[in-house]
Amino acid sequence: MKHHYHYPSEWLKYRSTGEQVASELRLGIISKAINQGDKLSENKIAQQFEVSRSPVRDALKLLQQDGLISLERMGAIVTGLSNVNQKEIYDIRLMLESFVFERLQLDDNSVVIKELNKILKMMTVAVEFEDADEFTRLDLLFHESMITTINHQYIEMIWRNLTPVMECLILVSMRQRMEKEPEDFKRVIHNHKVYIEAIENKDRNKMKEAFHLNFDDVDEQIEVLWNSQTNIDRK
């Protein structure tokens, strides 16, 4: 299958053909290589990716679940991802990660701390090799490792549902940053160190600082979500 929108090919190894096509198109939409209002034809996509129409239909169903397209007969219209949609994704991430942090305070965190430090070292290496794609993969793995540690089935399900769109948002951002502002990765690495310090020391103020550092475009929502979560847990 051809990779027209440069979705990392190594991420596709264990995905069905439909999922592979969806991954490519999803990145095309989020990077705005495919524009809002564009029409997607089943036949043209099949020709473009050199696949049959059956996996194309599967791909379009996945993109509809993401809210990126509106299905029509023999194709779809691109609705795209608005700024409001992006903010909503960060809202959900804040809710998940604040909940997870509270649960992490209840148990021995030595295993997850070791895992997070290992991932952070690999993130540093990815920066040294100017590998934005690998950095993106590791960034998602870092946060996923925190979430899966608490063994909460439905929290993990929400995370998995968010991941396809979220990974494309982060991938586009990291590729642009690596090209235009590579020095900014020092700040990103530091922000992840603050996460680890907060979890290791079970420090609520440090975790709130980590949220501000990592979600600086939704500061007001951080205060609302964080205060509501900590108040619930202290009752």
pLDDT digit string (tens) for 27-76?
Answer: 999 999 999 999 999 999 999 999 999 999 999 999 999 999 999 988 99
Average pLDDT over residues 106-112: 90
Q: Which one is predicted more confidently, 215 or 127?
A: 127
Mean pLDDT calculated for residue range 92-107: 89
Kindly report the length of the chain.
235
**Residue 227: its pLDDT value, please?**
55
Q: Which residue has the tokens 């996996």?
A: 55
β-pairing verdict for 75-78 and 69-72: antiparallel
Q: Residue 217 above 50 pLDDT?
A: no
Beta bridge partners, 71, equal 76
**pLDDT > 70? residue 232:** no
User: What does the mean pLDDT of the chain come to?
Assistant: 90
- Asked if residues 97 and 89 have their Cβ atoms less than 8 Å apart, the reply is no
Rounded to whole angstroms, how far apart are CA atoms 147 and 145?
Answer: 5
Contact 77, 37 (CB under 8 A): yes
Q: Mean per-residue pLDDT for 213-233?
A: 53
CB-based burial label for 85 (10 Å; 0-12, 13-18, 19+): middle
Question: Which residue reads 């999922």 in tokens?
Answer: 19
Planar angle of CA 61, 63, 66, nearest 5 degrees? 115
Q: Of 166, 165, 161, nearest to 142 (Cα)?
A: 166
pLDDT-based confidence at residue 216 (cuts at 50, 70, 90): low
* Whether this model's pTM surpasses 0.85: yes
Separation of CA 228 from chain center: 24
